[in-house]
Amino acid sequence: MAQVTIQLPRVLCELTACDRRVEATGDTVADALDDLVERQPALALHLFDDTGALRRHVLCFHNETSARDRAELDHPLSNGDRLTLINSVAGG
């Protein structure tokens, strides 16, 4: 199992005691996200919809590569990888 760092957007900071960088483990991107919400259950509502998919406004990057669809979420992780979650903003 790989040890990775997940960077969270500032708007979710209060749900993790203001830690914007949290550690997680997993064999795949999806496993690490599952580990994240297991450790921080309040994040689940903000990151995933009723089907368990990432919400449309949540962007996920594995290192520098976008990871949104199932194939990308099943991508294997290596120790030291970084996942970055970003909430996209729209409006005017």
Average pLDDT, the chain: 91
Residue 63 forms part of a structural domain: yes
pLDDT tens string 16-31: 887 899 999 999 999 9
CB neighbour class for 72 (10 Å; exposed up to 12, middle 13-18, buried from 19) = middle
Say what the pLDDT of residue 90 is. Answer: 64
Percent of the chain's residues with pLDDT above 90: 73
Secondary structure tally for the chain: helices H, strands E: 3, 5
CATH of the domain at 52: 3.10.20.30
In the chain, the number of structural domains is 1
Q: How confident is the model at residue 58 (pLDDT cuts 50, 70, 90)?
A: very high
Which strand (E) or helix (H) includes residue 61?
strand 58-62
Instruction: Please state, in angstroms and rounded to a whole number, the distance separating the CA atoms of residues 56 and 23.
Output: 24
Establish if 15 belongs to a structural domain: yes
Is 44 among the domain residues?
Answer: yes
